[in-house]
Amino acid sequence: MLAQAPLGAGAFEKVGTKVRVTGMKVFGVSLTPDSDRPYVFVKLETNQGIVGWGEATLEGKAGAVIACVSDFKEFIMGCDPMQVEHHWQSMYVHSFYRAGPVMGSAISGIDQALWDIRGKILGMPVYKLLGGPHDPLGVRGYYHARANTPEQLQALRHQAKSLGITAFKSGIPGYYEWIETNAKITRAVRQIQMLRENLGPEIDIGVDFHAKTSPSVASIIVKEVEPLNLLFIEEPCPPENMKAMARVARRSTTPIATGERLVASYSCQQLIEMGAADILQCDINHVGGITALWKVAAMAEPSGISIAPHACEGPIGGLATLHVDAASPNFLVQEICSGVQPEMKEEVWEEWLGFPAMRMVNGRFPLPDKPGLGFDLQESALAKFPFGGTKPMARVFHEDGSVAEW
Amino acid sequence: MATGNDPLDLKELRAFPLREPVSGRRYTLIRLETRGGLRGWGECAGTSDREFAQARQLLSGIPATAYDVAWRKLEPIPGLRAAINMAQLDIVGQHAKAPVYQVLGGPTRNKARALAPIEGAAPSDLLASLQKAQQAGYRAFSTTVPPIEWVNQGQAYIFNVRGRMEILRKNGGPNVDFVLDGAAQLAAGDASSIAAELEKFHLLWFDEPCRVSNLSALRKITDENVTPVGYGRNITNGGEFQDLLREEAADVLRPALYTYGVSQSRKIAALAETYYVAVAPYHDGGPVATAAALQLAASLPNFFIQQIPVPAGDADRQMRQAIAGDVERIRDGFAELPTAPGLGVQVNERALDKYRDRG
| DSSP states along B47-65 | --HHHHHHHHHHTTT-BTT
Q: What is the pLDDT of residue B1?
A: 58
- Select from B99, B126, B142 the last residue of a domain: B99
B98 Cβ neighbours under 8 A, 6+ residues apart = B341
Q: How many domains does chain A have?
A: 2
Same domain membership, residue A188 and residue A144: yes
Give the end of a domain, one of A125, A156, A178: A125
Nearest to B226 among A182, A219, A403 (CB): A219
Do A285 and A141 lie in a common domain?
A: yes
For chain B, give percent helix, strand, coil, nearest 5.
40, 20, 40
A47, A79 contact by CB (below 8 A): no
**Residue A283 scores a pLDDT above 90:** yes
pLDDT score at B277: 97
Condensed to tens digits (0 to 9), the pLDDT of residues B3-48 reads: 567 899 998 898 999 989 999 998 999 999 998 999 999 999 998 9
Q: Is residue B343 part of a domain?
A: no
Q: Could you tell me if residue A397 is inside a domain?
A: no
Q: How far apart are the first and last CA of chain A?
A: 46
Do B80 and B135 lie in one domain? The reply is no
Give the total number of structural domains in chain B: 2
From A105, A125, A145, give the residue that closes a domain: A125
B257 and B160 in a single domain? The answer is: yes
Bridge partners (DSSP) listed for residue A46:
A21
Checking phi first, is residue A86 left (phi over 0); if not, alpha (psi -120 to 50) or beta? alpha
Pairwise CB contact (< 8 Å): B278 & A219:
no
Domain encompassing residue B78: 10-99
Residue B1 lies in a domain: no
Residue B195 pLDDT > 90: yes
The CA-CA-CA angle for residues B189, B193, B199, to 5°, reads: 140
Is B205 in the same domain as B257?
Answer: yes
Q: Is residue A175 domain-resident?
A: yes
> Do A281 and A265 share a domain, yes or no?
yes
- Cα A129–chain centre separation: 20
Do B95 and B116 fall within a single domain? Answer: no
Please report residues of A whose CB lies closer than 8 A to that of B195: none
Residue of A nearest to B205 (CA): A179
B174, B204, B334 member nearest A179 (Cβ): B204
Is A239's Cβ below 8 Å from some Cβ in B? no
Pick among B275, B279, B304, B337 to test the A interface (most A CBs inside 10 A): B275
B94 shares its domain with B115: no
Same domain, B79 and B169: no
Query: At CA B201, angle to CA A183 and CA B150, rounded to 5?
Result: 150
What SS3 state is found at B312? Answer: coil
Same domain as A331, residue A222:
yes
Q: How far apart are CA A213 and CA A404, in angstroms?
A: 10
Using the predicted structure, report yes or no on whether residue A4 has a pLDDT greater than 60.
no
Touching check for B196 and chain A: CB below 8 Å? Answer: no
* Residue closest to B116 by CA, chosen among B354, B307, B314: B307
In a domain, A112, yes or no: yes
- Chain B residues in contact with A180 (beta carbon < 8 A): 202, 204
CATH number of the domain that B74 lies in?
3.30.390.10
Q: Which residues pair with A335 in a beta bridge?
A: A142
Chain A: closest CA distance from residue B174 (Å): 7
Task: Write out pLDDT tens, residues A149-173.
Answer: 999 999 999 899 899 999 999 999 9
Interface test with A, best of B168, B169, B177, B226 (most A CBs within 10 A): B226
Q: What is the pLDDT of residue B6?
A: 85
In this structure, the answer to whether residues B239 and B156 fall within a common structural domain is yes
pLDDT at B3: 55
Asked whether residue B124 falls in the same domain as residue B71, the answer is no
Look at residue B79 and tell me whether its pLDDT is greater than 90. yes
d(CA A339, CA B182): 48
At residue B308, what are phi and psi to the nearest 5 degrees?
-130, 120
Do A252 and A181 share a structural domain?
yes
B94 plus B118 within the same structural domain: no
pLDDT digits (tens, 9 = 90+) for B207-222: 999 978 889 999 889 9
Report whether A249 contacts A256 (CB < 8 A): yes
Beta strands in A56-152 (DSSP E): 139-144
pLDDT, tens only, A233-246:
999 999 999 889 89
Q: Does A215 touch chain B (CB under 8 A)?
A: yes
Does any domain span residue B14?
yes
- The DSSP 8-state label assigned to residue A109 in this structure reads H
Task: Please say whether the beta carbons of B219 and B197 come within 8 A.
Answer: no
| Residues A111 and A133 placed together within one structural domain of the fold | no
Answer yes or no: is A265 within a domain: yes
Say if residue A49 is in the same domain as residue A133.
no
With 90 as the cut, is the pLDDT of residue A325 above it?
A: yes
Q: Do B251 and A216 touch (CB under 8 A)?
A: yes
* Cβ within 8 Å of residue A137, ≥6 positions away: A362, A364
A residues 174..213 contacting B (CB < 8 A)? 177-183, 185-186
- pLDDT of residue A273 exceeding 90, the answer is no
- Considering the domain architecture, whether residues A141 and A252 belong to the same structural domain is answered as yes
Mutate to test the interface with A, among B111, B204, B274, B276 (most CBs of A within 10 A): B276
pLDDT score, position A6: 53
Residue B214 belongs to some domain of the structure:
yes
Say whether A323 is catalytic: no
Q: CB count, 10 Å around CB of A250?
A: 14
Same domain flag for A277 and A134: yes
Q: What is the average pLDDT score of chain A?
A: 93
Check if A210 is active-site: yes
Instruction: Note the pLDDT of residue B130.
Output: 96
CATH number at residue A115: 3.30.390.10
Query: The domain that contains B157 carries what CATH number?
Result: 3.20.20.120
Backbone conformation region of residue A78, classed left if phi is above 0, alpha if psi is from -120 to 50, else beta: left
Residue A387 placed within a domain: no
- Inside any domain, residue A400: no
> Are A94 and A207 in a shared domain?
no
Average pLDDT, chain B: 92
> Is A120 found in the same domain as A98?
yes
**Segments forming the whole domain that contains residue A36:** 8-125
* pLDDT at residue A99, as a whole number: 83
Q: How far apart are CA A323 and CA A284, in angstroms?
A: 11
Residue A352 CB neighbour total at 10 angstroms = 22
Q: Of B78, B99, B120, which one is at a domain's C-terminal end?
A: B99
- The answer to whether position A221 is within a domain reads yes
pLDDT at B351: 93
- Distance in Å from the first CA to the final CA of chain B: 28
CB B89 within 8 A of CB B343: yes
Quick check: A183 and B305 CB within 8 A?
no
B203 in any annotated domain: yes
Q: Is residue A398 part of a domain?
A: no
Say yes or no: A345 and A241 in one domain. yes
- CA–CA dist A9, A12 (Å, integer): 5
Active-site residue, selected from the candidate residues A87, A144, A286, A310: A310
Give the active site residue among A210, A286, A323, A398.
Answer: A210
Return residues 242-271 of A near B (CB < 8 Å): 243-244, 247, 250-252
What DSSP element (H or E) covers B40? strand B39-44
A76: number of CA atoms within 13 Å, CB side? 30
How many interface pairs between A and B have CB atoms less than 8 angstroms apart? 91
Task: Establish if B305 touches chain A: CB-CB under 8 angstroms.
Answer: yes
On whether both B37 and B182 belong to a single domain, the answer is no
Buried b / exposed e along B268-305 (16+ C-beta atoms within 10 A): bbebbbebbbbbbbbbbbbbbbbbbbbbbbbbbebbbb
Are B90 and B194 in a shared domain? no
Residue B242 DSSP one-character state? H
Is the pLDDT assigned to residue A228 strictly greater than 90? Answer: yes
Shared domain check, B121 and B236: yes
Q: Which residue of B has its CA nearest to A178?
A: B278
**Which residues are within 8 A (CB) of B295 and not within 5 positions of it... i.e. 6 or more apart?**
B89, B93, B99, B100, B101, B104, B262, B337, B338, B343, B344
| Segment B266-292, tens digit of pLDDT | 999 998 999 999 999 999 999 999 999
Q: Does B204 touch chain A (CB under 8 A)?
A: yes
